[in-house]
Amino acid sequence: MTSPLIQALTEAVEVIDLSQPLYSGMPVSPNHPEFRLVYIRRHGDSVRADGGSAANEMIVTGGHVGTHVDALAHVSQDGLMHGNVPISDCFQGGKFISHGIDQMHPVVTRGLMLNIAALKGVDILPGGYAITADDLEAECARIGKTPKPGDAVLIRTGWGKHFSGDAKTYIGHDSGVPGVDASAGQWLADKKIVVTGCDTTAYEHIAPGKGHAVLPVHRILLVDAGINIIEHMNLEVANEKNISEFMFILAPLKIVGGTGSPVRPLAVI
């Protein structure tokens, strides 16, 4: 029997899953390994005396595969990590002793979705579209909300609609991928948010044919500002519900020395 308190909470809130599914063959950045799941024990392989049986799997993946959050250890610039700390001070004994994902605190804060595709009157931004600081300002004016220090800000391009289709289209090497440019990255850093995410494979404007040759927004956010980045988000349900403000919940796995972690971010209305 459900308690009155739990029943009241269930009726009072709506939880929206902001993650993409994990499955073999899903789109993966060319810089990271593919996701693999193998059943190493199946029902019937071993049967207990009482007729019970169990199944379990082995998962092989990377810290930056599927919906995931980047640790500050993920990117350096000119030999320095966030806080102007030399890499040699962070990486010792074969692992990161600082800046790793295990040192990122869980996030429970106000979330804003800046829907740039909706701002531009399209369902999906064109490949290679550069989202500028002016675009972010215009979207804030459209929804009547602006980021505050400590917020989470999610950027919808609509590109996530390609995730479950053709992986080549989603990765977008030839077409380019829409994303924030350096001006928008700096705008977000100046707002002193704590985390930001997008519905593409890289939280960047990727020009057609350029791939991930340079990632200036990663430098601005991770190295300069210490703001964690979430990639491969699913923002379509939030878009369908026309949601722009919510409680945002994010908890990375406590992988000691990890440069990133799979996550299942939530929007609570």
Ordered by where they begin, the domains of the chain are 4-21+62-268 (3.50.30.50)
Whole-model pTM: value is: 0.93
pLDDT higher than threshold 70 for residue 6: no
Taking alpha carbons only, the member of 246, 235, 269 closest to residue 123 is 235
DSSP 63: T
Q: Say if residues 71 and 260 touch (Cβ distance below 8 Å).
A: yes
* pLDDT reported for residue 180: 97
The predicted pLDDT at position 5 comes to 65
Q: Which secondary structure element, helix H or strand E, spans residue 57, and what is its range?
A: strand 56-60
Residue-wise pLDDT tens digits, 220-248: 999 999 999 999 999 999 999 999 999 99
Average pLDDT over residues 153-178: 93
Cβ count within 10 A of residue 14? 13
Q: Which two tokens stand for residue 244?
A: 């722009």
3-state SS, residue 195: strand
Q: Which of 84, 132, 115, 112 is nearest to 194 (CA)?
A: 112
C-alpha to C-alpha distance for 181 and 134, rounded to whole angstroms: 11
Question: How far is C-alpha 99 from the chain's CA centre?
Answer: 18
**H helical segments located in the chain:** 4-12, 87-90, 116-119, 133-143, 167-171, 182-190, 216-218, 236-240
